[in-house]
Structure 1
Amino acid sequence: MELTSQAQAMLDAQTELWQNTFAFVKSMALKSAVDLHIADTIQHHGGAATLSQIANKAMVPPSKTPCLSRLMRTLTSAGVFSTQQPPSGGDDCNSEHLLYTLTPVTRLLVGSPNQAAFTSFAPHLATVSSMFELSRWLQSELLDPCMFKLRNGCTAFELANGDPAFNEAFNDGMVSDTEFIMDIVVKEHGEVFQGISSLIDVGGGLGAAAHAISKAVLDLAHVVDKAPGNTDVKYIAGDMFESIPPENVIFLKVVFDLYIMVVNGTERDENEWKKIFLEAGFSDYKITSVLGLRSIIEVYP
């Protein structure tokens, strides 16, 4: 018996509501796949691995293998992995016979540069739990304390300074993202750096962007302490909210919106950027939308 159009519309709406409600499940599933190095295992096995091969490499005990199968089913339906039958045939419905393969998404998690560290850090507990403060924070008149501090008792910078594990995860995540995007920027749009004699990478983490551009980096002291040596890059301990050393060019890399709001970070549309640029005394700007969700913004004195 067919559903009425009204009933079908309500069920479709519920499906969409559930997809948004349970979106965190897919995010956590992806994080676990990265932490278990599942993409690396598939790559190691020539691009196709069985469930048992994945379980063995990830040290998942037999009692949890059915749960691993459910994880892979979720990620496969999300397009993170794909499946194929083994060359010898077999029951495609039997997960033990399936070969799990990489997709364009998970190929970003293997090789170099890759997005594995960033994908693992982005849903970090300290940040995700901070989002539980969103409604309470929105009802407050004040920006401070930020959501991150409300939940964790300190700012993200303070946590990084006092928690080596968080600091390392953050730095590795930023390096992962920066190496990926800067590889494209330098190869495809390197002309934006032509004629630059000196550049300061503000809040540059361990200097992945500066290594790509081979100039200078500014970051907090606890980051500089971990910075690798490089004759082309000078590391300067400091606070970008207090002062920025004078250089020929200032470089700043951002993305996100609600995500970065947990630390009182702000994303802006073009009109908002234009207002800031002109009020700061800059004469003009240029936005080039060539980096997927991100763009190259050039601001001129």
Structure 2
Amino acid sequence: MKLLTTSGLFAADGGAGEPAYALTAASRLLVGPLGLGSIVRYQAGPVNVTPFFDMPAWLRATDGPQQSLFELTHGRSRWDPANPDSSTMQDAAFAESQFLIDALLRNHGHIFHGLTSLVDVGGGHGSLARAIAAMFPSIRCTVMDLAHVVADAPAIAGGNVQFVAGNMFESIPSADAVLLKYVLHCWSDDDCVKILRNCKNAIPSTRAAGGKVIITVMVSGSGSRDGNASETEQMHSLFVTGIGGIGREEQEWKKIFCDAGFSDYKMTQDMGPVSVIEIFP
């Protein structure tokens, strides 16, 4: 406990007698109904951490197709269901969604006004889509993810949420809007352009008709410039680099949107290090 007080995870009462420990802002994120402990277990687990010990060999590699650091160590992509921490990754994704739901719908609910259909690409087991459908019953929500993810999704009786198996690099079901929650930072620039072009093909061709893509992602350099924010951004960039992704600044995101054929975007940054971006055809 004394060690954890030095890192700010707990506070200690310095009075006489036995010390009394209390939660801090950091440790409150790990407990309770919105606890993020499963994300810590996933990010700090051996499957995620071990590849960084192979970074010298990865940086020296000059021949052949460039594989991710994760692939170099494990011989498979981060998204392969054969990874031994696949269930831990799903638990982390669920916790992350629960944490995002309240902030997104409370602060940005207006971005869903007027929509009649929405596709949540890479939506996992559909916790965010179900929350959107509950708040906006007029929106028909489709959750698209890989077949093995959809197969494990909990059954939903009735309602306006459905699951479909698919590959975002091939095609995306048609809808008024496409939602990409924490997806694009996991991929290269070229892959992001491919994904967004498929999104563009799935939505109405004009902003006036309601067509847009909604993205939640970390935008480097866009938020508070305090030490905690900078450290979070750099740690995020390091981990996504390990799986073949990239941490990007706003101008880098803007170039990707333009290369994918979008004409305009609107970025709102009021959820800590996470931004909400609407991009329009």
**Partner residue, 2:9:** 80
2:264 counterpart of 1:284:
yes
The SS at the match of 1:156 is coil
2:129 counterpart of 1:210:
yes
Matching of residues 55-94 of structure 1 within 5 Å: 72-84=1-13, 89-90=16-17
| 1:144 to partner: Cα distance | 3.4
Runs of 4+ with >4 A deviation:
none
The answer (yes or no) to whether the contact 1:287–1:295 under 8 Å persists in 2 is yes
Report the more deviating stretch, 282-291 or 102-111.
102-111
| 1:85 to partner: Cα distance | 5.9
| 1:243 to partner: Cα distance | 2.2
Distance across 1 between alignment mates of 2:65 and 2:250: 23
The SS at the match of 2:181 is coil
Aligned length: 219
Distance across 2 between alignment mates of 1:199 and 1:271: 27
Distance across 2 between alignment mates of 1:212 and 1:139: 46
TM-score (norm 2): 0.72
Which among 213, 223, 235 is matched to residue 149 of structure 2?
A: 223
**Partner residue, 2:73:** 151
TM-score (norm 1): 0.68
Amino acid at match of 2:276: I
Q: Which digits, 9 at most, give the CA deviation of each residue in 1:145-182, with x for residues without a partner?
A: 21111111211222xx125x512110110111111022
Distance across 2 between alignment mates of 1:241 and 1:172: 24
Q: Which digits, 9 at most, give the CA deviation of each residue in 1:110-146, with x for residues without a partner?
A: 2222212112211121111112233322333466321
Amino acid at match of 2:124: G
1:139–1:241 Cα change, 3 Å: farther
Runs of 5+ unmatched residues, structure 2: 134-140, 183-217, 219-235
Identity, % of aligned positions:
37
| 1:267 to partner: Cα distance | 2.6
Q: Which digits, 9 at most, give the CA deviation of each residue in 1:170-226, with x for residues without a partner?
A: 011011111102211101221111111111111122222212222221111111121
The SS at the match of 2:5 is helix
Distance across 2 between alignment mates of 1:218 and 1:115: 24
More helix by share: 1
Distance across 1 between alignment mates of 2:101 and 2:260: 27
| 1:246 to partner: Cα distance | 2.0
The SS at the match of 1:259 is helix
The answer (yes or no) to whether the contact 2:42–2:48 under 8 Å persists in 1 is no
Distance across 2 between alignment mates of 1:130 and 1:155: 12
Amino acid at match of 2:160: D
Distance across 2 between alignment mates of 1:205 and 1:133: 30
Distance across 1 between alignment mates of 2:9 and 2:100: 20
Which among 19, 27, 30 is matched to residue 106 of structure 1?
A: 27
Distance across 2 between alignment mates of 1:120 and 1:273: 30
Distance across 2 between alignment mates of 1:169 and 1:122: 10
Q: Which digits, 9 at most, give the CA deviation of each residue in 1:65-96, with x for residues without a partner?
A: xxxxxxx222111110112268xx52xxxxxx
2:168 counterpart of 1:240:
yes
Distance across 2 between alignment mates of 1:211 and 1:120: 25
Which among 223, 231, 254 is matched to residue 274 of structure 1?
A: 254
Structure exhibiting the larger radius of gyration computed from Cα positions: 1
Matching of residues 180-195 of structure 1 within 5 Å: 180-195=99-114
1:143–1:73 Cα change, 3 Å: farther
The answer (yes or no) to whether the contact 2:70–2:242 under 8 Å persists in 1 is yes
**Partner residue, 1:115:** 36
2:31 counterpart of 1:127:
no
The SS at the match of 2:276 is strand
Amino acid at match of 1:74: L
Amino acid at match of 1:107: R
Runs of 5+ unmatched residues, structure 1: 1-71, 91-96
Larger relative contact order, structure 1 or 2 (CA cutoff 8 Å, min sep 6): 2
More strand by share: 2
Amino acid at match of 1:154: R
Distance across 1 between alignment mates of 2:271 and 2:154: 27
Q: Which digits, 9 at most, give the CA deviation of each residue in 1:264-286, with x for residues without a partner?
A: 11232211211221222212001
1:211–1:99 Cα change, 3 Å: same
